[in-house]
Chain A
Amino acid sequence: MGTLELKQKLSGHRGRVWSVCWHPKGANLASCGEDKTIIIWGSEGLKWVTKMILTEGHSRTIRELAWSPCGNYIASASFDATTAIWDKKSGQFECNATLEGHENEVKSVNWSISGQLLATCSRDKSVWVWEVNDDEYECAAVINAHTQDVKKVRWHPHEEILASASYDNTVKLFKEDLADSDWSCVATLSSHTSTVWSLSWDKTGNRIASCSDDKTVKIWREYKPGNETGVATPNNEPVWKCICTLSGYHTRTIYDIDWCKSTGLLVTACGDDIIRVFKEDDDCDPHQPSFTMVCSMDSAHTQDVNCVQWNPVVPGQLASSSDDSFVKIWSYNE
């Protein structure tokens, strides 16, 4: 069994902290929540301290934020129906663009790996793709494929393929049709029996892990046309199949999941206040993988854990946020 060692408990937010996001270089962390502020944390020696507090960008809860791949921008999604883009061209982080268009709460925001595309999703059931050109943001697509509230958007680690998770119990994948530059749904991943709260791609982009209100985690795998396994691919499009379900581990809603791109470890944030870490078994069949729970941190927070994210640079370093108003930094040791 591995252990999670608490490195530091960061206080600064008032009320629920919805989301944390690591800077791509791993030396800074940003967090946001119901107090409508974004806090940027940085390490000084061994201690994490508040570097900046961003206010006045949003009039309601900030649900999620995302650093751009270059690390120069932060996008924040808010219940006020807007997404704000912050940059520090003036030396300080300032909100220099506000993306409007969603009818109500924006739930999630994510940058593509090139930094040229931004995705947002909302309770209005739509997913929007924005094109970024010299600090101008233009809506490239409004995708109405989900039938309910969309909870999460996440780009493929290398390609311009977008995944979204919804209250309609499905995950959907979207791609641009180069013939008419229209974005359309290329796959629907159905198996969860309640809201899918979050998802995470693995480092190859061939697999997705999703987590749900149904208390399970599911692992999905892509089968391309002509695959050796013999999975049928009608319309010559890749097919996604659920190849593993982790059930019986979580006792309440699983709000977030993150698949570490360097170690391959999966971490989950659960409504039972527990952070769990799963490791893929070494000798398992890639088409029927098995995972072992290698750590279960009871009372990781005193209330629901809302978000967990592995540091993209420091292996085993983890940040979490909770309804209990705290952000915590952990270190996973095998």
Chain B
Amino acid sequence: MSLSIATGLRAIRQTSVAFGRRGYAAAAGANTLLLVEHKDGAITGATLNALTAAKAMGGNITALVAGEAPEAVAKAIAEFEGVSKVLTASDASYEKNVAEDLAALLVAVQEKNAFSHIFAGHTAVGKNVIPRAAALLDVAPISDIIKVESEDTFVRPIFAGNAIATVKSSDALKFVTVRATAFESAVSGGGAAAVETVAESPKVGVTQWAGEEIQKSDRPELASAKRVISGGRGMKSGENFELLYKLADKIGAAVGASRAAVDAGFVDNSLQVGQTGKIVAPELYVAVGISGAIQHLAGMKDSKTIVAINKDADAPIFQVADYGLVEDLFKAVPELTEKL
């Protein structure tokens, strides 16, 4: 008797699983979860680029907003075209993007919803959380994609952007982080997704956020600025960066730096452009006193127009620059600022 009940239950379960699978296969395209990154109540830029990448696959997109009070951000992302549902999860640790708790949440949400893809921006948060969640689900994630070929095939740079690989995932679930500069930013409007609260997932609670030091600046955000002026070792000191700030303010640009300038203490780490710093692709990139090492080029060579100002005519930066000026930056930069 009990055996037959068990068999019957198993049959029902198998039927529902099979039905569920058929249901998914019949739906058009991917069924994607987008991890919405936000800070101080605003959706971060990279999330909107990741949304565009997710839309390139077709299918449904569900946005996950986790934070201390996720409602306002959830409402904002619900208004984007292509977002069919928004899930919210509330906890203080999510607000600080604590990896252990956020990855556990992703796993719980995935187990309940069986998404085909999980997308996030390739930001400090995305890089930190996505691989952990992927490992917990036994999936090999794909980092920093610059193109969506199909639902399982993506394009990503390797070797500091000196080679471009097309890769295909054999996992049923794809974890993908998206290079912001490779996709247009999604524009708000045209969407009216329903917002639902997800069931609470257990907190790991082992890591506490103890504080932050954010560099305050009135200039545009480096990663998304339309114009970027960067300084390198040739600037000689932090005080001399004032020359670049003046030029940047005149044309509404963000200021970046090479590793040499950061290591020498001229400017903060968060301004580093390159393989291991920020990747930028503005309309105008002005490299001042930067030689153009492979690692720096990795972060800026997709800029639309590159200008180099350097007194060394043999500096490698001139090989990628659309316009190169061989001159002492201490003469050329003030002159340029004055003439604009």
Do the two chains bind? no
